[in-house]
Structure 1
Amino acid sequence: MRLRFTLFIVIALTLIGRPSTDADVGKIGGVGYADYYYVASADDTDPGQIPEKQNAFRMRRLYLTYNQDVSERFDVRFRLEANDAGFGKTAKMVPFVKHGYLKWKGALGGDLYLGLSGTPTWGISESYWGYRAVEKTILDLNGIGSSADVGVGLTGATGALDYHIMVANGPGQRPETDNGKKFYGSLSTRPSDALVLEVYADLDLRPADQNRLTAKGFAGIESGGLRLGVEPFIRINSEAGTGGDDETITGASIFASLPVGNNRVFGRFDLVSNDDADTSEMFILAGYDWTVEKGLHIIPNIHIQLPDGPDPNIQARVTAYYKF
């Protein structure tokens, strides 16, 4: 893996450094999320939580992306991602392919994506949230869906509606495991410069009729420096509950951010319920975004998770976000 990663870097730098026409120019970019965190409180009944009073520096996530305009009609992207394995793990950060696709501009009245490309599951809400470096959006955080999948996607617009539809394998970056496919669809509109509305659904066809259906809505407002978003969802896992019943997961997220001089403050509240497990969980997040300079942000933030267990999970972080 290390050899392949090094080979990618060498090839990409070679492509950038060689003389070329405009159609051949490629670009390398990168993004990094780094934290120092301290666990102030932890639910001892949850084995997935970092123990209380533990703390660490970590490189939580790294992206390295190569984009190239092959011609007026075709673009390509190759993106690697590496993640921190987590507290107490012995695994190193190992890069894997996040995106690898060909974009055919103008095909079928829109843009056609072939390969491993981004799904429409939380693209719009994540851009409005604006703090992926701090935390995932509600569906992503709860493991409902994938940010990328292998298949065919089409984006475009008709009238006042923007669309993103996709047919893909379903397991994201992992290999296919059955003969079913996953169907994605997003419709969004902007009634005004300040407002965006979206409806989204996906259906994952799985063996033994254990299909998964997800639906959500999103409303985002951006005006006078204020950014506000609301995102409710429902997920139905067929025959995945106790006794073969359906499992239904519902939730909603509301978030906002405001300017403070050249910086911003932000907050978020999530609520997620599972009818089969008869549980409800709240999540609260707040932070201050200090823009050191373009492409570099230092973000003190606090995460408070309120599960059904006796103790809350409280984690204080200082997050660094950089982009080049």
Structure 2
Amino acid sequence: MRPRSMLIVMGLVLIGFVGNASAEGRIKGYMFGDYYWVASADDGETKLPEQRNAFQLRRLYLTYENQIADDFSIRYRLEAKDAGFGKGSKMVPFVKHGYLKWSDAVGESDLYIGLSGTPTWSASESAWGYRSIEKTVMDLNKIGSSADLGVGLKGSAGNIGYHVMIGNGPGQAPEDDHGKKFYGQVRFAPSDGLTLVGYADFNMRPAEQNQVTFAGFVGISQGDLTLGLEPFMRINQSAAADGDDVTITGVSLFGRLPLAEQWNAFGRVDAVSDDSDDTTDLLVVAGLDYVAAKNVHIMPNLYLGLPDGPDPNIQARVTCFYKF
């Protein structure tokens, strides 16, 4: 059986299983997509040229969770997304999460075994709150993966929390070398409404081309106002043609603010610098969030990509998000 057919069968089996076991478990999911129009682009732009427009489903998630014993629970998640403009391929689901959670396995810390979420940008993504609009700055620039296959330990004591993990490194893809990736995140909440996060990882790669990442996050929440600042640095060791290291640095500043009943505003600015080509690219996102009903959001927004050199890429979008 072809791999795509197998994934489709897996999805149907999961849906059927959930339907039969709904009394014992929980099914949930969400979707987001847009209508977009590229108002302006560089003459050399091929991926999103000027005047391109389309409806697209950027993500579909189906998740099943079940408490299978007093201290053990499971989670399975399938993900599908639009193949892209002109690709001619249908959406095919793949396994996003598949893990066993052992509650209080080490003291009051929980052990995760399998394909589970990494700590790489979990704090900033939660604070940003608009994954349906755009990925976090690290996710967008492929500084890691949102999930990995391995073992993780997560816990907290008072106002300090931690998440450590050892995984293969390639995320949802199969292992491709003998090295492993080590993750560590520490959270500190010194007061109500203030969150400080420190993060680091080390990815062992062949030919000593290891990858080292450092990141931080500062989150402020006062009433309905939320602000976040996320800097990062990725060092790709011996990655340049002459054997030197390549360093990528970036920072993201974002916020959201209620305007009126059912209306919120959000905005974000990213700056990412790559010393391999001595460039700094900017991204500006701003929009309105209309809460049409509980768990249903309609969000007109502007998306401005400001690369170092080419002309800006300006998109007008209307994004829809719902979850159940």
Where on the TM-score scale, by shorter chain, does this alignment land: which range?
Answer: over 0.9
Q: Which moved more, 1:121-130 or 1:307-316?
A: 307-316
- 1:276 deviates by 1.0
The answer for the alignment partner of 1:167 in structure 2 is 166
Equivalent residues in 2 for 1:93-132 (5 A)?
A: 93-109=91-107, 110-132=109-131
SS of residue in 2 equivalent to 1:107: strand
RMSD: 1.0
1:8 matched residue in structure 2: 14
Residue identity opposite 1:154 in structure 2? L
Match of 2:277 in 1: 277
For 1:202, the equivalent position in structure 2 comes to: 201
2:37 pairs with 1:61 = no
1: CA distance between counterparts of 2:14 and 2:133?
28
* 1:71 corresponds to 2:69: yes
Counterparts of 1:7 and 1:72, CA distance in 2: 26
- Cα shift readout 1:227-262 (whole Å, capped 9, x = no counterpart): 000001100000112311100000100001110112
TM-score by length of 2: 0.96
Query: Using the alignment, how far apart are the partners of 2:295 and 2:157 within structure 1?
Result: 34
Q: Give me the whole-angstrom Cα distance separating, in 2, the residues matched to 1:161 and 1:107.
A: 18
Are the aligned partners of 1:31 and 1:321 in contact in 2 as well (CA < 8 Å)? Answer: yes
Query: 1:51 and 2:57 equivalent?
Result: no
Q: Distance in 1 between matches of 2:43 and 2:184?
A: 40
**Deviation, structure 1 residue 29:** 0.4
Give the paired residue count.
Answer: 316
How far apart are 1:46 and its partner, in Å?
4.3
Deviations 1:10-31 (A, max 9, x none): 11111115xxxxxxx2000010
* Structure 1 Cα separation of the partners of residues 138 and 44 of structure 2: 23
Provide Cα deviations, 1:77-134, integer angstroms capped at 9, x if missing partner.
0000001111121111100000000000001120000000000001110010000011
The Cα shift of 1:309 comes to 2.8
- Separation in structure 1 between the aligned mates of residue 73 and residue 22 of structure 2, nearest angstrom: 15
What pairs up with 1:124-203 in 2 under 5 angstroms? 124-203=123-202
Report the secondary structure of 2:16's partner residue. helix
CA contact (8 A) 1:38 1:53 kept: yes
Q: Is the 1:242–1:276 Cα contact (8 Å) retained in structure 2? A: no
Unpaired stretches in structure 2, ≥5 consecutive residues: none
Which whole-Å CA distance do the structure 2 matches of 1:43 and 1:147 have between them?
Answer: 31
* Rounded Cα–Cα distance in structure 2 between residues aligned with 1:159 and 1:318: 41
Runs (5+) with no aligned partner, structure 1: 18-24
What fraction of aligned residue pairs are identical, expressed as a percent?
Answer: 57
Deviates more, 1:236-245 or 1:201-210: 236-245
Superposed CA deviations along residues 167-194 of structure 1, whole A, max 9, x for unmatched, are: 0000000000000000000000111111
CA–CA separation in structure 1 for the residues paired with 2:43 and 2:142: 22
SS in 1 for 2:11: helix
Task: Verify the 8 A CA contact 1:102 1:115 in the aligned structure 2.
Answer: yes
Tell me the SS of whatever aligns to 2:242.
Answer: helix
Q: Which residue of 1 aligns with 2:78?
A: 80
Contact 1:160 1:190 in 2 (8 A): yes
Q: Deviations over 1:35-55 (max 9, x none)?
A: 0000111223344x3111010
Q: Distance in 1 between matches of 2:227 and 2:201?
A: 25
Distance 2:277 2:130 in 1: 30
1:303-314 paired onto structure 2 within 5 Å: 303-314=303-314
Structure 1 outlier segments of 4+, above 6 Å: none
> Helix, strand or coil: the match of 1:241?
coil
Deviation at 1:8, TM superposition (A): 1.5
Q: CA deviation at 1:161?
A: 1.5
Indicate conservation of the 8 Å contact 1:194/1:222, yes or no.
yes
